[in-house]
């Protein structure tokens, strides 16, 4: 991207609904989805090089704040988007799992980069071959490391999921079954 290019701030898209003179009506699900997707609070779980790309994503040039996600949280109870960036050693697995469990519902997970998604080049006895072996993942961002544009693309995909998620999903049988697969009650 040329240095002199001005990045236009993202504007939240209006959900589907009915408009008329002086009014707009939509469903409750969509209104909640609109608020949630534009105010995601990420918890950056960064262990190695992919974390550096994330720092670039947060900095002024790429500026994740444009998507309502500038409020990072290192407290699991005050965040709803777990971003896992870097190699996760098997010894680190239980810590990551504990962080995930401590996050309040609704919560989403992005595996950023090859290591978090599949172990990457580290096909060794000590490295977890993908975080989805211990926690459910919503979006995978490829690359070693992924560029900030790819991380932003991952955030946009998460926003799409969040904006369209039914308010009942977290109480559904399907979701409970998913949690049971991971032995999370
Ligand atoms: S995917 Fe590549 S850049 Fe990212 S943590 Fe692994 S080795 Fe580092």
Q: How would residue 112 be classed by pLDDT, with cut points 50, 70 and 90? A: very high
Q: How would residue 100 be classed by pLDDT, with cut points 50, 70 and 90? A: very high
> How many angstroms separate the Cα of 28 from the Cα of each of 103, 156, 170?
24, 22, 16
Those residues with Cβ within 8 angstroms of residue 42's Cβ, 6 or more apart along the chain or in another chain: 64, 69, 72, 73, 79, 81, 82, 83
Q: What pLDDT sits at residue 8?
A: 62
* Tokens read off for 66: 């444009």
Query: What end-to-end distance do the CA atoms of the chain give, in Å?
Result: 46
Q: What pLDDT sits at residue 70?
A: 86
Asked whether the predicted pLDDT for residue 3 surpasses 80, the reply is no
Q: How would residue 2 be classed by pLDDT, with cut points 50, 70 and 90? A: low
Instruction: Using CB atoms within 10 Å of the CB of residue 96, give its burial: 0 to 12 exposed, 13 to 18 middle, 19+ buried.
Output: buried
Instruction: Using CB atoms within 10 Å of the CB of residue 143, give its burial: 0 to 12 exposed, 13 to 18 middle, 19+ buried.
Output: middle
Quote the percentage of the chain above a pLDDT of 90: 86
Those residues with Cβ within 8 angstroms of residue 178's Cβ, 6 or more apart along the chain or in another chain: 136
Q: What pLDDT sits at residue 9?
A: 57
Question: Of all atoms in ligand 1, which is nearest to the CA of residue 145?
Answer: 3
CA–centroid distance, residue 171 to ligand 1 (Å): 35
Whether the CB of 87 sits within 6 Å of ligand 1: yes
Q: What pLDDT sits at residue 4?
A: 62
Asked whether the predicted pLDDT for residue 39 surpasses 80, the reply is yes
Write out pLDDT tens, residues 113-170: 999 999 999 999 999 999 999 999 999 999 999 999 999 999 999 999 999 999 999 9
Write out pLDDT tens, residues 43-57: 999 999 999 999 999
- Closest residue by CA, ligand 1 atom 8: 49
Structural domains of the chain, ranges and CATH numbers in brackets: 43-149 (3.40.50.12280)
> How many angstroms separate the Cα of 182 from the Cα of each of 26, 111, 163?
35, 16, 25
More confident site: 61 or 7: 61
Quote the percentage of the chain above a pLDDT of 70: 95
SS3 (DSSP) at 59: coil
Question: Of all atoms in ligand 1, which is nearest to the CA of residue 143?
Answer: 1
Whether the CB of 115 sits within 6 Å of ligand 1: yes
CA–centroid distance, residue 89 to ligand 1 (Å): 13
Asked whether the predicted pLDDT for residue 5 surpasses 70, the reply is no
CA–centroid distance, residue 19 to ligand 1 (Å): 47
Ligand 1 pocket test: pick from 48, 121, 122 the residue with the most ligand atoms within 8 Å of its Cβ. 48
Instruction: Using CB atoms within 10 Å of the CB of residue 185, give its burial: 0 to 12 exposed, 13 to 18 middle, 19+ buried.
Output: exposed
Q: What is the pTM of this model?
A: 0.91
Give me the chain's average pLDDT, please.
Answer: 92
Which residues on neighbouring strands pair with residue 83, listed in sequence order?
Answer: 44, 110
Mean pLDDT of the region 91-102:
97
d(C-alpha 151, C-alpha 141), whole Å: 7
């Amino acid at each position: 991207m040329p240095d002199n290019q001005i990045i236009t701030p993202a504007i939240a898209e209006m959900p589907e609904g009915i408009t008329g003179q002086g009014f707009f009506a939509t469903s409750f699900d969509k209104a909640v989805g609109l608020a949630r997707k534009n105010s995601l609070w990420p918890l950056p779980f960064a262990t190695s090089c992919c974390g550096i790309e994330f720092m670039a994503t947060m900095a002024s040039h790429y500026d994740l704040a444009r998507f309502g996600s500038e409020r990072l949280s290192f407290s699991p109870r005050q965040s709803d988007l777990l971003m896992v960036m870097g190699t996760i050693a098997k010894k680190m697995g239980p810590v990551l799992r504990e962080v995930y469990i401590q996050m309040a519902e609704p919560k989403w997970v992005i595996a950023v980069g090859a290591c978090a998604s599949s172990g990457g080049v580290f096909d060794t006895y000590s490295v977890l071959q993908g975080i989805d072996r211990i926690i459910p993942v919503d979006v995978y961002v490829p690359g070693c490391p992924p560029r900030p544009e790819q991380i932003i693309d991952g955030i946009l995909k998460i926003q799409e999921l969040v904006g369209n998620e039914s308010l009942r999903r977290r109480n559904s049988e399907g979701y409970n079954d998913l949690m049971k697969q991971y032995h999370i009650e």
